[in-house]
Structure 1
């Protein structure tokens, strides 16, 4: 098989998988600043809508981007992780970067990094940010919707000065990096608010996180908008066709808004997106109510409660990857009256496997556990076996190969039920690709 330019790109990017990023004394920020100087990019030239949180970041970003795209407002969108191809992370006005330009940007970065004296300290997220901002700068993009990786201060993107800082739902996640309490986590994430930040959209229900941000509100000039205080929503209906809800904020009172994205949590995400649009109105942008409503309906996010039928088997793909997201997913499945035949999942290292598995437990639905598609994120087989031995009340199967796990899930499938694939966006994307390309036989 011919070794292509794209293969070289993937080989280069894969070399960053599993790298540990130094974060002591803001070292990762120093590296990020130097890297952007290396490629002649000034982040101050961009207007950032920066999104952090534990749940709903990607969906919120997609809702915002859809509204901007429908209003023909030029903007860039960065999200992560990807499902099957790196290009999914980078978009302008709703269109993904094409493979040729992506390869060109990455190879140029690889060339410039060869002479960078601290190249061994460059992490995966550093490179992603370099690609994104190069792409946006090439096309003259100023407004950027940016989904953070992990945390706020912990993320290399904390060198940005966002005009709008957005906080989605907060829960315990990435504790090995962010801290062991909600206060630790929101402290880290709140660092995206800078002295120049005009608006902070606080779209979470978590009381501890809200209380922390309320304290910050009294000590800075940023305008804070809180869900349930400054804007609100009422869910009218939620089923396998989507959601219908009302929204009331500082500028808009919208009725019968519909989303095709499933689950009531998407109403919260969509409402947070509208709150961002209201802040943009105050920054001088113009929007129309009917176009906002249409944009929210058209917004798409693969593998977020996505149902696909293939060869008589119905799959439900969802990238829930922490305990709160799995609990929310389970509640939505039960609300919709769906019957689960089996739960196929992988769980990243540094996660509480038993707690996560019990969060998505369905009676009579066995677990089918398989390794994480990224070897660097795998839980050791001994650790998996230990966790499974402590859950003898739940039927579990462990497969070393993802394809074998999928075959077993299909064998357990019964008519009018669903095979649930969850626990990791990487797994969900990998299995979905197999199902669509190779079928289930």
Structure 2
């Protein structure tokens, strides 16, 4: 049994999916049943997608909170501490609650599963279900970990499902094609429950539409039943869907892709509660922001968890929109389970310099391996990203931007480091 938060997180961070050999979702369902099925007492909105699900979830949370609801949220990864993954109205779960729920799970694992623990993500998912049920939230917004169909969050039945985008990611687990990955993400669609879709890739859309039809799930698709008229210069848009029209909606987060995410969030929120007013929607989106997503730590330092080619496309489009005259110096670190070449070549095309580094994780790509994908004439390899950052911050020129990007795990470490370094 865990005595402290550190004991608990040190142990569960080390858990691997391979330790439990049962069928997918089997351990989660067994444990939830022993806990009294807490996931049956909460209303959910479920979010999947390769990019944008965190930003879309956050915008949805802002709308529902401004409407007066008590809103749980389950996100990943965390940037500083595991408690960030489980919040109610943005307040993180207390250490003592986290440990208490964890110990309840441990007792069941030892009694019913012969001490065979599920993965870290599944374990934290089980803590989340207990917390939201105990606190009787009005709605819980749940982000999938990887994929959707076999994700440990997919034991829930949502009021609304949201699929933001589809990219070629986690191909070793989800498949090599857009259609295969879309099939996994579409696994969160439930019978008769509406699904909100931001996917624009045609083959991926077809898969999702087919799944929605099979499940008799009402489908709300960006550019079809959700219409936008964007003003990228002012970061505003006109929204038309569900019989509502809102003109000149301002979104705080930079980038035209955030206008898409905001439209998905509005639709999801209105499908959950149609009484939400236009004023609430407008006010909430003025304040919605998301750490580590085009986050300006200083006027010249930007953090962005662009962990795949679609994310990199959005990052570069946003840079072109807000800082077209600047010289871009990229610092990049990532995990091995991604196709980095496309992202790196895209950055090569606009970069003044490319700096490659690495993080101390088992699945991390080496700086050398990442640099091999670059054809830039000014590419540099650094083993120690902390020394690299200190050096670059000290010498940054007025016309330059330092853009730190790649894995969200890298962004999390950098963010903590910069808070201390720039204090």
Q: Provide the TM-score with structure 2 as the length reference.
A: 0.92
- 1:274 corresponds to which residue? 266
Question: How far did residue 425 of structure 1 move?
Answer: 1.4
Cα contact 2:220–2:226 (8 A) shared by 1: yes
Following TM superposition, by how much is the alpha carbon of 1:145 offset from its aligned partner in structure 2, in angstroms? 1.0
Q: Given the superposition, is the C-alpha separation of residues 351 and 394 from structure 1 closer, same or farther in structure 2, using an over 3 Å criterion?
A: farther
| CA displacement at 1:432 relative to structure 2 | 1.7
Quick check: 2:168–2:181 contact (8 Å CA) kept in 1?
A: yes
Out of 287, 293, 305, the position equivalent to 2:282 is 293
- For residues 22-421 of structure 1, the aligned pairs below 5 Å read 27-195=23-191, 197-238=192-233, 243-281=235-273, 285-309=274-298, 314-338=300-324, 339-373=326-360, 375-379=361-365, 381=366, 384-389=367-372, 391-421=374-404
What secondary structure is seen at the aligned counterpart in 2 of 1:154? Answer: coil
For 1:100 and 1:42, how far apart are their aligned partners in 2?
Answer: 19
Other structure's SS at 2:5 match: helix
CA deviation vs aligned residue, 1:223-282 (integer Å, no higher than 9, x gap) = 11111111111111346xxx211111113211111111111111000000111123123x
CA deviation profile, 1:145-192 (whole Å, cap 9, x unmatched):
111111111312222222211110111111111100011011111111
Count of residues paired in the alignment: 421
Which structure 1 residue ranges, 5 or more long, are not aligned? none
Does the 8 Å CA contact 2:327/2:399 hold for their aligned counterparts?
no
Q: Aligned in 2, Cα 1:393/1:65: closer, same or farther, shift over 3 Å?
A: closer
Gaps of 5+ in 2: none
Partner of 1:430: 413
Please report the RMSD computed on the Cα atoms of aligned residues, expressed in angstroms.
Answer: 2.3
Deviation by residue 1:282-332 (Cα, 9 ceiling, x = unmatched)? xxx5211101110111112111111122xxx72101111111111211111
Work out the CA distance in 2 between the residues paired with 1:411 and 1:237: 33
Maintained 8 Å contact 1:344/1:420: yes
Q: Structure 2 vs 1, CA of residues 143 and 119 (structure 1 numbering), >3 Å: closer, same or farther?
A: farther
Contact map agreement 1:47 1:143 (CA 8 A) in 2: yes
Shift of 1:20: 3.7
Contact 2:42 2:136 in 1 (8 A): no
In structure 2, relative to structure 1, the CA distance for the partners of 1:231 and 1:428 (3 Å cut) is same
